[in-house]
Amino acid sequence: MDVIRFARVVQLSGIAGVIGVSAPASAAFVEDSKASVEAKNFYMNRDFRQAGAPQSKGEEWAQGFILRMESGYTEGPVGVGIDALGQLGIKLDSSPDRAGVTGLLPQGPQSKRAPDDYSELGLTGKLRVSKSTLKAGTLIPKLPVLQPNESRLLPQTFQGGQLNSMELDNLNFNAGRLTQVSQRNSSNREDMTLMKGPRRNIVTGANATTDQFDFIGADYKWTSALTTGYHYAHLDDLYKQHFLTLTHLWPVTEGQSLKTDLRWSSADDDGNSNVDNRMLGAMFTYSLGAHAFGVTYQKMSGDTGFANVNGADPYLVNLVQINDFANQDERSWQARYDFNFAGIGIPGLTFMTRYVKGDNVNLGAAPGDGKEWERNTDIGYVIQSGPLKNVGIKWRNATYRTSFTSDIDENRLILSYTLALW
């Protein structure tokens, strides 16, 4: 009940903030609004299997709540609205010797003890003209040049402004500037910096943080099956990046299809780093009824590994549970299999397994080339009926082995439920 009351307060605050809007003009603002609360119970165990690892194990358990509210728009040529995102993470189990590596909870700077809870409230104002929308405030943009991390208890968020326009048929245009980031296990907003990774071999100079990430790009849908895109990003003083994408779906025959996903990027330094990277990624997925068979290839070239904002997910075909295979000069391959049990009369039950192998990693002055591999298995079930309908449970298991950093065995158990409030 408290969650519902909080959501209503946010909605009413937004309505009150629209100055000069009469009651009739506000009707769509209220009637088109929607809100939901997502509850997520997350247990994670990360076991470092290599002798000499700085920490033998990470293990934490937490409960998260995510309140999402979206208003409609006021009537007229310029529609006005407001969105809200409330996040709360609650510690259920943690200790200083097991904290800091799961990404579920913050870690205290002195005691290294996770706090009992952490929270954040983000508000976003929005304007709509025709088929164009301008948003300012808390954002979770999803673009090839920036993929916010949503793989833990609470999502990573950004502060800034974003313009989305669909004025031209089949063209989806995005541009904007981000100024700060709130990481997935933090309620603090901070400047952005580069992700360096174990062997990306990226080096930055002094003052390697920035409050300016600019992006612009568009995706064009040529046919119902083919879409291409170009996106550009500039993390001020750190790197500039061009990103090309292509997706194509070929309906081979009834119940069968082949999906092609191609990605290429080029990134260079912007004065305060040594970024120099070219990335090529290709993913092919053949669907046959309830089965899906996938293969990928990914190649890094240049003087560094892949460049992306620290904490965000790189948009890579071999980004998997633990690793992204984006080190300097690395080549990697993946084989994947998915099965949807609805095909044999068990809707809601899904299975996925994959194996990724990488080699040719540039180890700098160390002799030889680095090698690594990862194996993942996901099993999930969403209850289809009864009082627990739409409750989901997922087990995610991973094994990671490497010649140049710590080996890892990992298990995640996630229980989730989303309730529509209105």
pLDDT digits 0-9 by tens, 186-199: 999 999 999 998 89
> Where is 67: in which H helix or E strand?
strand 57-70
Read off the tokens for 285.
């997925």
Residue 5 has what pLDDT? 40
What's 148's domain CATH number? Answer: 2.40.160.10
pLDDT for position 51: 65
The residue range of the domain holding 52 is 2-420
Query: For the segment 266-304, what is each residue's pLDDT rounded down to a tens digit?
Result: 999 999 999 999 999 999 999 999 999 999 999 999 999
**Distance (Å) of CA 161 to CA 36, 74, 178, 368, 404:** 24, 20, 6, 46, 40
Indicate yes or no: pTM above 0.85: yes
In the predicted model, residues of the chain with pLDDT beneath 50 are 1-24
- Residue 301's pLDDT is 98
Whether 205 and 166 have beta carbons less than 8 Å apart is answered as no
- DSSP calls for 311-326: TSBP--TT--SS----
pLDDT at position 7 is 43
Give backbone dihedrals phi and psi of 318, rounded to 5 degrees, phi first: -110, 30
Q: How many CB atoms lie within 10 A of CB 376?
A: 21
Tell me how many domains the chain contains.
1
Which 3 state secondary structure label does DSSP give 344?
helix
